[in-house]
Chain A
Amino acid sequence: MTAVTVGQAFQQGLAEEMEADDRIFVLGTDLFIRGGHFAQVKGIGPRFGHDRVIDTPISEAAMVAAGVGAALNGMRPLIDLNFIDFAFGAMDEIANQAAKSSYLWGRPVPMVIRASSGVALYSAQHNNSLEAWFMHMPGLITVMPSNAADTKGIIKSALRSDDPVIFLMHKRLTGVRGEVGGPDELVPLGRAAIARPGSDVTIVSSGIVVNKVVKAAEVLASEGVEAEVIDLRTIFPLDAQLIEGSVRKTGRALVVTEEPPFASVASEIAAMVQEEVFDYLDAPVQRVTAAHSPIPHSPGLMEALIPQVETIVSAVRGSVERWPSTEA
């Protein structure tokens, strides 16, 4: 099995599903020839034709409305917004139309909105972390894979789901390589994964941050602290069972995300852990997030605002030192 990039994994998963289900089409800007800003659908246009890969004007409301209406009328659209920041221009269509139809009318909207997300270059207006916005909105599923295999497996599940799915691909993961599964290997929505087993502290993260956490876990292991790293994969519905089971075992939890801290995914998980497994905790649940700040252009400024391997390591060290484990 050969390793492919995250972008290629997405293309593979999409193409396989498009072959299997002619209701799936892709719609967005600069897709057919360019393949999108991240080459995320490169080659899909020529392969499937203009009825399956539809280029649009820069009209985000129209793009998502086209998806909602088409989904209600029997299709399974994948709407590509390029950057998740562009969802601001289509927020009514996402939050008030796509997310409400199942509840109000009993007809779900089987639509995937794919967008690149996460903190990378190009400053404040292209680097909003909106996963908590979507998590907050009843009627949406939000996913955020961290590697090639999950990207392929989750896009396949998303395209088969009857619910609207926000599919967030971290910009800095686009070219990262990994092995992927075959046409019949799906990664279910709503299921997290253990990226690294451990016994001393549970560290929850998603997307590219998982890679930083795994590196931090290696540093911690050299100091005698074994971290269990949980890769959320799906932001909502949360895999509470896996997280809680891990914290019962380790007695310590840390959530690491690239988003601003207030009313965040990290806050939600921290609240859930203390509500559900308080008795098992040796220490308060910690959050390591980005600052409450827009993202700047200059790389040094940008990196200063988001979690790094060292900040994750020192957060765990600080927890262990201040609240040592109490062995039963």
Chain B
Amino acid sequence: MINEPQIINEALSETHEQLAAADRPSEDGLLEIDISGLPAGELVKWLEDMVLIREFEEALEPLTLSGKIPGSVHQASGQEAVAVGVVRALRPGDIVASPHRPHHHALAKGLTPRAVMAELWGRATGCAGGRGGTMHLIDFSLGYFGSNGIVGAALGIAMGAALAAKLRQNGQVCVGFFGDGGANTGRTWEFVNFATVEKLPLIVVCENNQYAVETWIRREMVGGTIAERAIGFGLPASQVDGQDIAAVYAATVEARERAAAGGGPTFIEAVTYRYRGHNTGEVINYRTEDEVEHWRATRDPVERLRSSLERLGQLRPGQFEEIVAGASAVVQDSIEFSESSPVPDPATAGDRVLVTPFDEKGLA
């Protein structure tokens, strides 16, 4: 069923469909990607990472709707190449911080499906002990400096971590993710400006999935692309196809080299697409099913990598199905793990607010 998009900004005369048609690639089939520049021996693992993310995300809708996961979550199905392409270009000690749609980043950075899933369930075995949920995932030991519930805030944490990396001269490079919605909050540009002035080892990644909740970026931003906006801040900025893992990887490798060499931050706008709504359970009436299907058919990041690997003989017949089955089993295990995990002790609910001791009267 095709829903009529609701155009709320009448000042812009073009319809959603006219603009979307102009944005739409003319090709009908799956667009090929060039993986010749990628480390060949690792690509099956990359594909496994992407499939795991897809399986993980796709499992969440019924779990939230049934209430097993308290509240809703933000899925990143369709955005796998951004997470895996960026993180695979990093070194293990590097740092990543995510916004509210973070599971793909966290899993790519090495958090286990069990640790993430149990956190969504609010269980004691979750990566934040059940205190954080989807928007406050964490694992400092893996360089994962948290998902964040406030638009633009994760970039600030990555920027500050990059300042520490510069002062400590420890070689770390930091990545701050945000979305197209975050491109319209002022703090984002404070962070970009300061990072550029201070030549911080920071990679600024705008994951432009086109919609800030239900608001289409073409309706809330004029004056060119997000990357073009960034150019005005004086740092290298480019727009890449976020559904092409080779393009994301290449841009991140270049950005990482620049950062590590003291050349300062780089801005990457990865144009991507989320197949699901802003949050689980959302009724989508702001875009057409036709639009979603077109993105899936032409640019699905998993299918594009799979297709390339099969074409080059790096994936044998049936192997993809095995990868999907394996990922599905891992996700199922994470669900069972979460279901059987203990809930946090309510007696601890008020612990750890401060390191400095205080009691209910505030007494130190």
- Which residues of A does B touch, CB under 8 Å? 25, 51, 54, 56-57, 59, 61-63, 65-75, 92-93, 96-97, 100, 102-108, 138-139, 141, 161-163, 188-191, 234, 236-241, 272, 276
- The chain A residue sitting closest to B143, CB to CB, is A73
Expressed in whole angstroms, the Cα–Cα distance for A141 and B354 within the complex equals 8
Q: A268's closest neighbor in chain B, by CB?
A: B362
B145 touching A72, Cβ below 8 Å: yes
A236-B362 contact given A72-B140, A72-B157, CB 8 Å threshold: yes
Given A92-B153, A96-B150, CB of A67 within 8 Å of CB of B190 = no
Say how far B357's CB is from chain A's closest CB, in angstroms.
Answer: 8
Q: Which of A63, A105, A240 contacts B132 (CB 8 A)?
A: A105
Chain A proximity mask over B83-121: 1 for CB below 8 Å, otherwise 0: 000000000000101000000000000000000000000
Number of interface residues of B (CB under 8 A): 48
Nearest-neighbour CB distance to chain B for A107, whole angstroms, equals 6
CB distance from B70 to the nearest CB of A (A): 16
Q: Is B21 interfacial (CB-CB < 8 Å)?
A: no
A68: B residues at CB distance < 8 A: 156-157, 160
Q: Is the interface of A mostly helix, strand, loop or mixed?
A: mixed
Interface check B199, CB cutoff 8 A = no
Q: In the complex, which of the residues A63, A70, A162, A239 contacts B167, with contact meaning CB atoms closer than 8 Å?
A: A70
CB distance from A235 to the nearest CB of B (A): 9
Chain B 48-87 interface residues, beta-carbon cutoff 8 Å to A: none
Distance from A52 Cβ to chain B, minimum over Cβ atoms (Å): 9
- The answer to whether residues A74 and B361 also contact, given A62-B194, A69-B158, A105-B146 and a CB cut-off of 8 A, is no
Chain B 130-171, CB-CB to A under 8 Å as 1, else 0, gives 011000101010000110111001001111111111011000
Known: A104-B128, A104-B132, A104-B136. A190 touches B193 (CB 8 A): no
Q: Known contacts A104-B138, A141-B354: does B364 contact A190 (CB below 8 Å)?
A: yes
Judging by beta carbons under 8 Å apart, are A70 and B193 in contact? Answer: no
CA distance A189 to B356 in the complex (A): 8
Q: Top 10 A-B pairs ranked by shortest CB distance?
A: A69-B160, A190-B364, A65-B156, A237-B358, A73-B164, A238-B362, A59-B190, A62-B190, A70-B164, A237-B364
Q: Are B356 and A69 in contact (CB under 8 A)?
A: no
Q: Are B194 and A66 in contact (CB under 8 A)?
A: yes
**Residue B8 CB within 8 A of the other chain:** no
| Inter-subunit contact A71/B198 (CB<8 Å) | no
The chain A residue with its CB closest to the CB of B97 is A69
Q: In the assembled complex, how far is the CB of residue A113 from the closest CB belonging to chain B, in whole angstroms?
A: 13
Number of A-B contacts (CB under 8 A): 163
Classify the interface of chain B: helix, strand, loop or mixed.
Answer: mixed
| Residues in B whose Cβ lies below 8 Å from that of A237 | 354, 356-358, 362-364
Is residue B219 contacting chain A, with contact meaning CB distance below 8 A?
Answer: no
Chain A's closest residue to B132 (CB) is A104
Report which of A25, A51, A67, A238 forms a contact with B361, defined as CB distance below 8 A. A238
A71 touches B160 (CB 8 A): yes
Whether the pair A73, B161 counts as a contact (CB closer than 8 A) is yes
Any chain A CB within 8 A of the CB of B353? yes
Complex: A138 Cα to B362 Cα, angstroms: 11
B73 CB to nearest A CB, Å? 17
Q: Cβ of A71: which chain B residues have Cβ within 8 Å of it?
A: 160, 164
Nearest B-chain residue to A27, judged by Cβ: B163
The docked-state distance in angstroms from the alpha carbon of A102 to that of B352 is 6
**Which residues on the A side are within 8 Å of B149 (C-beta)?**
96
CA distance A25 to B168 in the complex (A): 11
Query: Contact: A189 with B364, CB < 8 Å?
Result: yes
Are B191 and A62 closer than 8 Å at their CB atoms?
yes
Q: When the two chains form their complex, are residues B160 and A65 in contact, meaning their CB atoms are under 8 A apart?
A: yes
Q: How far is the CB of B190 from chain A (nearest CB, A)?
A: 4
Enumerate B171-222 residues with CB–CB distance to A below 8 Å.
172, 174, 186-187, 190-191, 193-194, 197-198
**A68 to B190, alpha carbons, bound, how many Å?**
15
Q: What residues of chain B lie closer than 8 Å to A69, measured between beta carbons? A: 97, 145, 156-164, 174
Q: Could you list 6 further interchain pairs (A-B, Cβ under 8 angstroms) beyond the known A65-B160, A66-B159, A69-B162? A: A73-B145, A75-B163, A92-B153, A96-B150, A97-B153, A189-B364
Shortest Cβ distance from residue B335 to the other chain A in the assembled complex, whole angstroms: 23
Q: Closest B residue to A188 by CB, please name it.
A: B364
Give the docked Cα–Cα distance between A241 and B358 (Å). 12
Q: Return the contact of A72 from the options B136, B161, B167, B357 (Cβ within 8 A).
A: B161
A103 pairs with B156, CB closer than 8 A? no
What's the Cα separation between A63 and B194 when bound, in Å? Answer: 9
Given the known inter-chain contacts A62-B194, A190-B363, please indicate yes or no for A72 contacting B160, CB distance below 8 A.
Answer: yes
Judge whether B355 is part of the interface by a CB distance below 8 angstroms: yes
What chain A residues lie within 8 Å of B198 (beta carbons)? 54
Contact B361 A276 (CB under 8 A): yes
Interface pair A272/B361, CB less than 8 Å apart: yes
CB neighbours of A65 from chain B (8 A) = 153, 156-157, 159-160, 187, 190-191
Kindly provide the distance from the CB of A168 to the nearest chain B CB, expressed in whole angstroms.
17
Most buried by B among A61, A65, A74, A236: A65
Are B194 and A25 neighbours in the complex by a CB distance under 8 Å?
A: no
A100 to B128, CA, bound (A): 12
B363→A238 contact, CB < 8 A: yes
